[in-house]
Chains A and B, each alone.
Chain A
Amino acid sequence: MRLLKIMGMIMLSLGFCAASLAAKELKVGFVYVSPIGDAGYSYAHDVGRQAVEAMDGVTTSYVESVPEGADSERVILNMARKGYDVIFATSFGFMDPMLKVAKQFPKIAFLHCSGFKMAENMSNYFGRMYQARYLSGIVAGSMTKSKVIGYVAAFPIPEVIRGINAFTLGVQSVNPEATVRVVWTKTWYDPATEKEAAKSLLDVGADVIAQHQDSPGPQEAAQEKGVYSIGYNSDMSSFAPKAHLTAPVWNWGPYYVKVVEQVKNGTWKAESAWPGLKEGIVGLSPFGPMVPQAVQDKVNKAKANIIGGKKVFSGLVKDQKGNVKIAAGAAATDEELLGMTWFVNGVVGTTQ
């Protein structure tokens, strides 16, 4: 009987221990700019969040469709006050609001995606999407017959311009005569306008449509015309099964898990991180059945080279007017990549 009592007490105290452990769970918050159902940018981040959620002793939560600016500061501040240990904000416009909150809460780890500001307790991070775009350019360059590739693009900012350039270099690595025609929509997610932009490219003879937009509008246009397309953000093949060759995609899980692990162990330090193919943060979605094995092999070889240290932006690279921008044997520095405002030779369009 006494034994039973002791056993019971041990069990009880164990229970308390477990409860107090549970109370110390690491709380991780995510702030998204758009709904997570968008099969795009925020969706990709949320897949990363789910990887964190699956970790032991960690709970996550998120707020979606948060407008950039003052509203985002309120959301981030609210998370900080509620005792979150790690907060990720995944849109450019969250940068200054996050910095403001970070200064008030020195014990919380803040991480901002796609910006450039840092603090003692605030990292910035982004992925080298241009590496994956280069690979998708190889696919597009191999599949085009008209040697005209259309690219529906959001805003002429360095991130997008860098992507177009890397894509074009990929195209030219297999198809030197092909050109990439760019149409700007000045929207991130406007399916109607983006689809119309893709149609305008199809009308001038493009037979592969690539995009730097979050909506699958351009994919639909390619499918309806019976030509090929390259998606973005996540696998968009469900919107255009006959057209979708592949898509440069985000894979945030490994990075998010790593950061949260570091915070848990107390080893986290604010940094400026720009992981890429090597770290598995960016990649290509599975190839469509129309992509021949030979092309897939070429892509895989180029991927291995980049992982092995080959730079996408390495000489000789000329701009649209034929001026040498990156000399033979040289490679662009990260600063040059982050401030890129010129198109490589072979792109038809303006950066204005």
Chain B
Amino acid sequence: MEIAIIIPLLAAAVQSGTPILYATLGEIFTEKSGVLNLGVEGAMIIGALAGFIVSRYTGSPALGFLMAGFAGALATSIHGVVCLWFRGNQVVSGLALTILGAGLANYLGTSYVGISAPGFKTMAVPLLSSIPVLGPIFFNQDILVYISYFIPPAMYIFFTSSRFGLGLRAAGEYPAAATAAGLNVAAYRWFGIMVGGFFMGLGGAYLSLAYTHLWTTNLTGGRGWIAVALVIFAFWRPGRAVLGAYLFGGIMALQLRLQALGTQLPSSILLMLPYALTVFVLVISSWRKKTSEEPAALGVNLEPVD
């Protein structure tokens, strides 16, 4: 393959990785607080629909994007109610959120299928986009991609250097100790769920406002589940999440381009690649468990206080 094919391929890797990146970062944020949320797919699709509807009626994709985040947070707050108030099983609640989200979005979105809404367009960054190779890959994208560049470092600083971030991690590592130290663990976990849901909603909106400018049932197409897997691949580190998301996006873009180039490989094999990769990276990750930053109390509900 010559360079003329590779650069668009890598640019496509960044773009198709971006919705997954938002969702993966959201799930990392939630899991850091000790709550396992398998409802990423549900929060994403609700975000995608909310973003689309707001953008269509207000004509402002930016407002749509923001509202998608709040819709995602609203969706995951259901998970919060179940897990934090009623101490329900986190796995079951997350699965229920996925099904509920898909069903609700399908129902509410029926009349929006097949119409388009104002969305984000590619906007090259002056100067940066003229850097050879890196410019067209990273700086000839839409603004939502640029925003996503800032989140992983911000999240890293938040978790390692801010008092609040350390408290959130304590809630996920050892809630009893955190409680003993006077932290309101439930509040931290609420925060983890809501902010995580916000990012998941943004990931969904990327699909309906930037990647395409359309809404359809099942728009997220399983990307939420990929995000759940990528959290493990990323060892719960925001930086590695970027790597995982772009790797997945890259394989997705690659298999289509291999077809376009006229490969003789059956398309079924090619379409399997991204998912085979997901399984593969999970296996690799489990070998190197030591470097993982999995929260010790992940998925464990808080004990009743009284």
Contact = CB atoms under 8 A, between A and B. Distances in A.
Contacts of A349: 259, 262
Contacts of B298: none
Contacts of B122: 224
Given A224-B122, A350-B264, A200 B259 contact: yes
Interface string B189-214: 00000000000000000010001111
Interface in A176-206: 181-187, 189-193, 195-197, 199-201, 203-204, 206
Contacts of A203: 5, 8-9, 12, 257, 260
B247 interface: no
Interface of B: 5, 8-9, 12, 16, 106, 110-116, 121-122, 207, 211-214, 216-219, 221, 252-253, 256-257, 259-268, 271
Contacts of B263: 350
Contacts of B264: 350
B268 A352 contact: yes
A37 B9 CA distance: 33
Contact of B113 (A35, A156, A197, A224): A35
Contact of B16 (A156, A190, A196): A196
Nearest to A204: B260
Contacts of A220: 116, 212-214
A204 B261 contact: yes
A37 B256 contact: no
A191 B216 contact: yes
Contacts of B257: 200, 203-204
A295 B253 CA distance: 35
19 contacts: A34-B113, A37-B115, A40-B114, A65-B110, A150-B260, A191-B216, A192-B16, A196-B16, A197-B260, A199-B256, A200-B257, A200-B260, A201-B260, A203-B8, A204-B261, A217-B214, A220-B214, A348-B262, A349-B259
Contacts of A291: none
Contact of B271 (A35, A184, A215): A184
Contact of A195 (B112, B212, B261, B267): B212
B259 to A, nearest CB: 4
Contacts of A217: 212, 214
A108 interface: no
Contacts of B214: 191, 215-217, 220
A181 B113 contact: no
Interface residues of A, number: 43
Contacts of A34: 113
A287 interface: no
A193 B221 contact: yes
A37 B221 contact: no
A113 B266 CA distance: 29
Nearest to B267: A184
A35 B121 CA distance: 28
Given A65-B106, A349-B259, 15 more contacts: A34-B113, A184-B267, A184-B271, A185-B271, A190-B218, A190-B219, A191-B219, A196-B16, A196-B253, A197-B260, A203-B8, A203-B257, A203-B260, A220-B214, A352-B268
Contact of A200 (B113, B219, B253, B266): B253
B238 to A, nearest CB: 24
Closest 6 CB pairs between A and B? A352-B266, A39-B114, A200-B256, A184-B267, A348-B262, A191-B212
A95 B221 CA distance: 26
A342 interface: no
A196 B252 contact: yes
Given A37-B115, A196-B256, A220-B213, A350 B266 contact: yes
A62 interface: no
